[in-house]
Amino acid sequence: MIRMLVVLNLSLPAMHAQWWDPGGSLPALFSNATRGKLEMNFEFRTRYEDRTGVTFGKDPEQNPMLIRTRLGVSYQPVPWVRFSGMAQDARAPLWGPSAPNTVRDDADMHEGYIELFPDRNEGFWLSAGRQMLNYGEGRLIGAPQWNNLSRTYDQVRVGYRLPFGQFDFLLVSPVKIRIAEFNRPVLGDRVWGSYNSFPNVFRQMLVDVYALRHDQNREGGYTGGSTRERTDRLTVNTFGLRMAGPLALGAKFSLEGAMQNGKVGPASHRGVAWSSDVSRRWTLAKTTFDLSGEYKCASGTANPKDASRDGTFDQLYAANHDRFGREDLFGWRNLHNIRLLGTFGVLKNVSLNAMYNNSWLASARDGLYSISGNSIVRSATGLDGRHIGQEADAFVTFKFHHYTFGSGYGRFFNGEFIERTTPHASPNYVYVFQTYSL
């Protein structure tokens, strides 16, 4: 403790000199004072949004100011154990007292977990507690950071690392945000199974193989049948494969496919989903240009009136931000989507981005689903077309030391299905943000 106080005192003049970055030296300071045993991180983020045409005219317009503050610490007293925690305070002051738990959560424990053998390159490891998680590209299990809260999980994971790959066995349950209460997990909604990653199968190609079981038997879930017949349960098995790696001429690719079976209430479930992406970077002088093209699809139910069959893909706990447009209108269910993204690195710390999305329903008889996987609207007849619409987005980011600034605009152009089934307002999204992170 004395050594830490001495280092703190000696560093104060340097910290004061950098008035525009008051805490920039703090992480290194604490790490050095504790010989690398204590690490800290901090984030303060604000974002103002203006959303019109919310849910295509079905919901009121939104223009909140979103504020998120995080303070995290990690302590590793010996090489074989590490303790980590994070406090988070998320607010939406312009929303008023009725702000929902999707945008606000007064100071609460966002993370708190223990790891055994966290840095071991080979052998057994374990993680248990509350933690943000991302597997693969976060298409099925992820923590979407654009959201003011970001999803966190109560989890137990056990794994074994080998020189050629890693085997993970997991049990995760999403934490429910409770305003003015301590957040608790939804243990009746959980995913368990195995996610295995092999980073260099062939010429630096990554391969992930997973088998996951989604069980749901909670209030607000599937109800209405007897427990004996198990018609009040969701039990979905997901078997998937993901590959990513280099192609010729400096291009890169990623592919992911998943198949599902099981039960959704009384119905037999069969679902499939696919994602494919190709990207390439060009460099000219001191500027860069990145271009990527992506196609995604997820199955829907062919005949919703048939109570014995369900074909709508279960997206589990997906981190869907930016997957189907910057406005985050849709989820990975009953959907075909084409996305193009171009990023121009004007300067080292400045990037201009343009994104285009075009989306269709996979099944005209099934509905359209939100980013969280909930139903937005369904055609009463199945004869209202399949084209959902197109979205155009433009946004810019600027990084300066520990600061990131950005703003953007998104506009959705309604397709035939939206025009026929909703009040057909066209969503617009304008935002500006800043983040200070250590």
What total number of domains does the chain contain? Answer: 2
Three-state SS sequence of 213-262: EEEECCCCCCCCCCCCCCCCCEEEEEEEEEEEEECHHHEEEEEEEEEEEE
Strands (E), 299-402: 309-310, 335-347, 350-361, 367-369, 375-378, 387-400
Q: Which residues pair with 393 in a beta bridge?
A: 355, 410
Do both 105 and 208 map to the same domain? yes
pLDDT in tens, 71-86: 999 999 999 999 999 9
Residues 244, 386 within the same domain: yes
Q: Which two tokens stand for residue 349?
A: 């710390």
- 366: containing domain: 37-437
pLDDT score for 312: 96
The residues of the chain scoring below 70 in pLDDT are 1-20, 22-24, 218-232
Which CATH number do you get for residue 339?
2.40.160.100
C-beta of residue 101 within 8 angstroms of C-beta of residue 178: yes
Name the β-bridge partners of 46. Answer: 67, 434
Residue 228 is predicted with a pLDDT of 38
Compute CA distances 302 → 313, 327, 378, whole Å.
Answer: 12, 28, 12
25 and 150 co-located in one domain:
no
Could you tell me if 241 and 366 lie in one domain? yes
Predicted local confidence at residue 219, as pLDDT: 47
The pLDDT value given to residue 28: 76
Q: Are residues 280 and 424 in the same domain?
A: yes
H-run or E-run covering 189: strand 189-202
Question: Which residue is it, tokens 């590490």?
Answer: 82
pLDDT of res. 25 = 74
pLDDT at 146: 94
